[in-house]
Amino acid sequence: MDQVILQMKGICKAFAGVPALCNASLELKSGEVHALLGENGAGKSTLMKILTGIYHRDGGTILFDGQEVVFDNPRQAQEAGIVIVHQELNMMHHLTVAQNLFIGREVMKYGIFTDDGAINRRARELFQLLNIDIDPTEIMGHLTVGRQQMVEIAKAISTRARVIVFDEPTAALTDAETTELFKIIRDLKSKGMGIVYISHRMDELAQITDRVTVMRDGEYVGTLVTAESSKAEIIKMMVGRTVFEAPKEKSNVPPQAPVVLSVRNLCAGFVRDVSFDLHKGEILGFAGLMGAGRTEVARALFGADPQESGEILIQGEKVQIRTPQDAVQHGIGYLSEDRKRYGLVVEKTVQENSLLAAMEKHLRGIFIDTPRNRDEAKQYVDRLRIKTPSVEQRVVTLSGGNQQKVVIAKWLIRDCDILIFDEPTRGIDVGAKSEIYALMNELVAKGKSIIMISSELPEILRMSDRVIIMSEGRRTGELSIEEASQEKIMHYATLRENETA
């Protein structure tokens, strides 16, 4: 791990006159897993898009094997041996695994027909090399996200890549799939490949990386040897301050706080007989393993999925919630775990997205009150510290953390009393996480009530006043924050239907 295979030095890039990168740098050695870290908007993805020819740099140099290179498009970068596995996979879901692997590089029969037998054989050979157990003839859309991720990695390797960039590779993976991914990465490392690893999951660094480069506000901050660095040191480099992550020791909800929401014996899909209360000013955490049914409860409560039976009471009054419009009218806002699919219209502006849930409040007769809309959107951009050149900026251009803040602004403008936060910090850096945590605490201090679904146990323990635990579509436990621990939560999260606590 001595040979420097890639150097990016003094890279600069601006969009519409707004600097995104200024003097950004990265050095990668062969046989190295090198983490690239920074808050959302720090410039990580922009730097990697410049490396792989998606963007053109305004200044700086890229040296690959000691030779300066300029890539005009991703195909040129790929042909040189540099590929990126994006966080949001770009697959043809109706095609087979093998067809996805070799799309654009098909083996032809008689010069006009695709030789599916040949590409299936090549796919099997590739999977055997990587110890991946996937049937090349399986339809891509039938695979889990984790399996699709493995196919994307195999596709990158099939191009004879020497440098692979992984952008948030474990964001949608189970623990078992993450373990499998790490085995593959270690194997690639042993064969001399250079790996750039972008992740917001700080606990992964010690497991998989050799060095860490930190960026902040589009600039290079420094590079550390992972084994010689602490998590606190790296976080401080990322955000320029110390981020406190201790668990909550005591609930902030007064004993006499009224119940604002009651759910009784809710059944929806594979969710069965789920009951709970939510108090005014409370953050009620929902914990459980992937597929436990937490999101399904939230979607049924919000009217996004049909309820089969059960009761919902708001302020003691039974209500019927059949559609999201019903939920909003009853003062419930829902921040989906998939913000781009369900929370935003990414091609619209920050202003338009911020006002989606409260448009009727911003009409003057039959016309949109544009000046008032702009002023209110600007107010929440400032309040939430959304990094955007203006409220007219399209949401698709913002970082993940800032997109999440736009979704939050949408429900704050609507002024909902009950907010469901489903994986509120997924794919968000530690600095933005800290800001969202502070905002959630501010909301409950003002009398709002929050249901928070999270797969991160440290997040559950840091934010919740009480914790509901689910397994296999059923509520299996409830813990006060004073008695909650990771071990106790996992005990309830792994209970099967016929087991008791």
Task: Quickly name the fold that domain 258-331+417-427+447-496 has.
Answer: Rossmann fold (3.40.50)
Query: If you average pLDDT over every residue of the chain, what do you get?
Result: 86
Q: Which of 89-103, 265-279, 301-315 has the lowest mean pLDDT?
A: 89-103
Residues 253-273 have a mean pLDDT of: 94
Residues 63-89 have a mean pLDDT of: 88
Tell me the C-alpha distance between 406 and 355, whole Å: 10
Q: Which of 71-75, 241-245, 325-329, 447-451 has the lowest mean pLDDT?
A: 241-245
For residue 266, give the nearest of 298, 307, 295, 238 by alpha carbon: 307
pLDDT tens digits, one per residue of 12-29: 998 877 788 999 999 999
Q: Which of 60-64, 249-253, 412-416 has the lowest mean pLDDT?
A: 412-416
Q: What type of residue sits at position 234?
A: I
For residue 420, give the nearest of 321, 352, 345, 317 by alpha carbon: 321
pLDDT tens digits, one per residue of 91-120: 777 888 888 888 767 666 766 667 778 888
* 216 DSSP β-pair partners: 219
Tell me the C-alpha distance between 277 and 294, whole Å: 15
Residues 222-235 have a mean pLDDT of: 90
- pLDDT at site 59: 95
Domain 4-239 in this protein, CATH class: alpha beta
For residue 97, give the nearest of 122, 76, 66 by alpha carbon: 122
Residues carrying CATH 3.40.50.300, the chain: 4-239, 258-331+417-427+447-496
* 368 DSSP β-pair partners: 363
Map residue 295 onto helix, strand or coil: helix
Map residue 12 onto helix, strand or coil: strand
pLDDT tens digits, one per residue of 343-362: 788 788 888 888 776 666 65
